[in-house]
Chain A
Amino acid sequence: MLSPRRCALTLAAYLVPCLAVVCAAPFVGSAATTPEILWMLRVPRVALGFLAGGALALAGAALQVVLRNPLAEPYTLGVASGGALGAVVAIMLPGLAVAIGPLSSVQLFSLAGCGLALGLIYVLARRPQGISMSMLLLAGVTIGILCGALIMLVRFLAKPTILVAMERWVMGGLDVFGYRDLAALLPFLLPGLGLLALQLPSLDHLSLGEEMAAGHGVDVAAVHREVFLGAGLATAAVVSVTGPIGFVGLIVPHTVRRLSGFDHRIVLPASFLLGGAFLVACDAAARVVVAPAEMPAGILTALVGGPVFIHILLKRK
């Protein structure tokens, strides 16, 4: 049984190494790290990477529970595909450029795409007694495929010179300039993370089934709604700024469960810390591996994460 003390100790065991990674990461890179590069480029980049990786892992952990599917991750919702479609449309039609506050045109269009996908999936999966989780899964995957086809269509119609920019966005990465992108992330990320955090005490019950959870006193429909909305908002915020970064939301929660058990009051915050540190570490490595060029972090998360995950699966059990 989880006591507050054991909970704090376990989370501290995650916090210390993750913090070390985050503190060291800004100093990784080309030899000449001037204070300006450090403070204006590296620090906001590391902060962005930590928040983005953490949010993806946290959303993945919660979705795996409510969808009752170990393969669920933030991109299962189809929200990210909507975001990608919005982004490539914005890249293709620079004439439509608009910017509000810290949000660039691509980010705005991407958010709009996420919002549309989220709304469409909600309408498809809504039932009188709440959101149907099986419909959510099917609708999310279908919207994802549909958006994928539309992205292909946009690319087919686009001028070859623009294709490179689209290609680069779809790879996902953390190449940010200053604190503006960090500010663009927060308006949707914070409410999303807040909604997910509120579900901490209820999630374990849902893994015993919806009826058992309801019997224990959990308002199942409310938890479903809030996880859907929270994960949707957080994913939309991340995708609009970084593009799609795969694998973090899938493997980090499973890694935490292997290491620390299945109590989601541990799994959720620990996934946030580990997911953040993992993306920061991958991004730092991506700066070094092919220096002076930079590899998109999304490639490394999959390249590193895949084998590590297989190792964890084989080692325990």
Chain B
Amino acid sequence: MPDPLLQFDAVAYQYPDSAWRLEGVSLAVGAGEVLAIIGPNGSGKSTLLRIGAGVLRPRAGQVLLGGRDLTRLARREIARSLGYLPQQVRSDFDYRVEEVVAMGRFPHLAGAGFLSAADRAVVDRCLAETETADYRQRPLSHLSGGERQRAFLASVLAQEPRVLLLDEPTAALDLHHQVRFFRLVRRLAEQGIGVVVVTHDVNLASLYCDRVALLRAGRLVEHGDPEAVLRADVLQATYGSDVLLSSHPATGRPIVLPAAGGGEIENRKSKIENA
């Protein structure tokens, strides 16, 4: 990759009062690229993303944003080129959608933070892009989970970031909204934004991401094309023998299924047949 937008360089981290460690992770994402970070619970995915967003400071190594050390940049400066959507955002107050999106202009504004005509145009564009314009006047409490998640994404996009970090953005969404969200992510990548997305959903990672990085117990164990990472031996080592590797009927990309064989359904079937 010639010119990475965001680069993790041998990043390590340890939480206080905990033996768990994130160790020496090196990764990079370039323009127009979607990188998925997958791994079991507690493997360090969200920790890595927080370090990438500058919310946590690495204990060792560094994160480079456009070639500059993240710890030397002011928060506003970071926010002008890096957007971060944390896991499960919730609002204490019932803001309207357009108010939340307008908040994303913060790093570009001075004083009391009133929007200029140009800022308003950016907000309108982000609403349209995320298909939230129809309910821009609605308060957050009147939205479904999928609509709310797209509204928060619109708020992050209003920062006009070049890199986007998404922490399990589809964890609480139904299948339709998961697909819709990842298609939106692909469209953003086509506009040149580099995206790092943490997800539990190996299949969405395989279908919509250019590269996959697999973390296990705080270490980066595999990294490459979905086909190269999602191999039977790797999956077995990570998730045990409870998963089955297959391929997508339309795209041929690897997909992962829960392995049947606990026997519950077969048992029930045979009981029905016996009866």
Interface, chain A (partner B; CB < 8 A): 1-4, 7, 65, 68, 70, 128, 200-202, 204-205, 207-209, 211-212, 214-219, 257, 262-263, 265
**B115 at interface (Cβ–Cβ under 8 A)?**
yes
CB pair A214 B55 closer than 8 Å: yes
CB pair A217 B159 closer than 8 Å: yes
**What is the CB-to-nearest-CB distance from B164 to chain A, in angstroms, rounded to a whole number?**
10
Q: Roughly how many angstroms separate A4 CA and B77 CA in the complex, as a whole number?
A: 25
Q: Roughly how many angstroms separate A7 CA and B113 CA in the complex, as a whole number?
A: 12
Contacts A1-B123, A217-B75 supplied; 16 other A-B pairs, CB < 8 Å: A2-B99, A68-B92, A201-B109, A208-B89, A209-B86, A211-B84, A212-B85, A212-B152, A215-B53, A217-B76, A217-B106, A218-B106, A219-B75, A263-B99, A265-B112, A265-B113
> Can you report 22 residue pairs joining A to B where beta carbons are below 8 Å apart?
A1-B99, A1-B115, A4-B112, A4-B114, A204-B99, A207-B93, A208-B100, A209-B89, A211-B55, A211-B84, A214-B54, A214-B55, A215-B55, A215-B84, A216-B79, A216-B106, A216-B155, A217-B106, A217-B107, A262-B95, A263-B99, A265-B112
Q: Which residue of B lies closest to A214 (CB)?
A: B55
Q: Which residue of B lies closest to A217 (CB)?
A: B79
Inter-chain contacts of B80 with A (CB < 8 A): 217
Q: Roughly how many angstroms separate A211 CA and B75 CA in the complex, as a whole number?
A: 12
CB pair B84 A262 closer than 8 Å: no
**What is the CB-to-nearest-CB distance from A305 to chain B, in angstroms, rounded to a whole number?**
21
Select which of B93, B104, B106 is within 8 A of A262 by beta carbon.
B93
Inter-chain contacts of A3 with B (CB < 8 A): 114-115
Inter-chain contacts of B94 with A (CB < 8 A): 262
CB pair A204 B107 closer than 8 Å: no
* Chain B stretch 74-132: residues in CB contact (< 8 A) with chain A: 74-80, 83-86, 89-95, 98-100, 102-104, 106-107, 109, 111-115, 120, 123
Given A209-B90, A211-B55, A265-B113; A216-B95 close (CB under 8 Å): no
**B156 at interface (Cβ–Cβ under 8 A)?**
yes
The 8 closest A-B pairs by CB, nearest first: A217-B79, A217-B107, A215-B84, A262-B93, A211-B86, A201-B113, A207-B92, A217-B76
Inter-chain contacts of B91 with A (CB < 8 A): 207-208
Q: Roughly how many angstroms separate A43 CA and B94 CA in the complex, as a whole number?
A: 40
* Chain B stretch 37-56: residues in CB contact (< 8 A) with chain A: 50, 53-55
* Chain B stretch 51-69: residues in CB contact (< 8 A) with chain A: 53-55
Q: Roughly how many angstroms separate A238 CA and B80 CA in the complex, as a whole number?
A: 40
Select which of A4, A128, A211 is within 8 A of B50 by beta carbon.
A211
Q: Which residue of B lies closest to A65 (CB)?
A: B92
Inter-chain contacts of A202 with B (CB < 8 A): 106
**What is the CB-to-nearest-CB distance from B81 to chain A, in angstroms, rounded to a whole number?**
10
Interface, chain B (partner A; CB < 8 A): 16, 50, 53-55, 74-80, 83-86, 89-95, 98-100, 102-104, 106-107, 109, 111-115, 120, 123, 152, 155-156, 159
Q: Roughly how many angstroms separate A128 CA and B17 CA in the complex, as a whole number?
A: 13
Given A204-B103, A217-B78; A212-B123 close (CB under 8 Å): no
Inter-chain contacts of B152 with A (CB < 8 A): 208, 212
Q: Roughly how many angstroms separate A218 CA and B77 CA in the complex, as a whole number?
A: 10
**What is the CB-to-nearest-CB distance from B63 to chain A, in angstroms, rounded to a whole number?**
14
Inter-chain contacts of A214 with B (CB < 8 A): 53-55, 75, 84
Inter-chain contacts of B55 with A (CB < 8 A): 211, 214-215
Q: Which residue of B lies closest to A257 (CB)?
A: B93
Given A1-B98, A1-B102, A217-B78; A212-B89 close (CB under 8 Å): yes
Inter-chain contacts of B75 with A (CB < 8 A): 214, 217-219
CB pair A216 B103 closer than 8 Å: yes
Inter-chain contacts of A262 with B (CB < 8 A): 93-95, 99
Q: Roughly how many angstroms separate A217 CA and B155 CA in the complex, as a whole number?
A: 12
Q: Roughly how many angstroms separate A1 CA and B101 CA in the complex, as a whole number?
A: 9
Inter-chain contacts of B99 with A (CB < 8 A): 1-2, 204, 262-263
Q: Which residue of B lies closest to A208 (CB)?
A: B91
**What is the CB-to-nearest-CB distance from A43 to chain B, in angstroms, rounded to a whole number?**
32
**What is the CB-to-nearest-CB distance from B101 to chain A, in angstroms, rounded to a whole number?**
9
**What is the CB-to-nearest-CB distance from B127 to chain A, in angstroms, rounded to a whole number?**
11
Q: Roughly how many angstroms separate A139 CA and B149 CA in the complex, as a whole number?
A: 35
Inter-chain contacts of A201 with B (CB < 8 A): 106, 109, 111-113
Q: Roughly how many angstroms separate A4 CA and B109 CA in the complex, as a whole number?
A: 14
CB pair B79 A215 closer than 8 Å: yes
Inter-chain contacts of B93 with A (CB < 8 A): 204, 207, 257, 262
Inter-chain contacts of B53 with A (CB < 8 A): 211, 214-215
Inter-chain contacts of B155 with A (CB < 8 A): 216
Select which of A216, A257, A263, A265 is within 8 A of B159 by beta carbon.
A216
Q: Roughly how many angstroms separate A202 CA and B112 CA in the complex, as a whole number?
A: 9
**What is the CB-to-nearest-CB distance from A59 to chain B, in angstroms, rounded to a whole number?**
18
Q: Roughly how many angstroms separate A212 CA and B166 CA in the complex, as a whole number?
A: 11
**What is the CB-to-nearest-CB distance from A5 to chain B, in angstroms, rounded to a whole number?**
10
**What is the CB-to-nearest-CB distance from A4 to chain B, in angstroms, rounded to a whole number?**
5
Q: Roughly how many angstroms separate A290 CA and B39 CA in the complex, as a whole number?
A: 71
Inter-chain contacts of B78 with A (CB < 8 A): 217
Q: Roughly how many angstroms separate A67 CA and B76 CA in the complex, as a whole number?
A: 23
Inter-chain contacts of B114 with A (CB < 8 A): 2-4, 7
**What is the CB-to-nearest-CB distance from B54 to chain A, in angstroms, rounded to a whole number?**
7
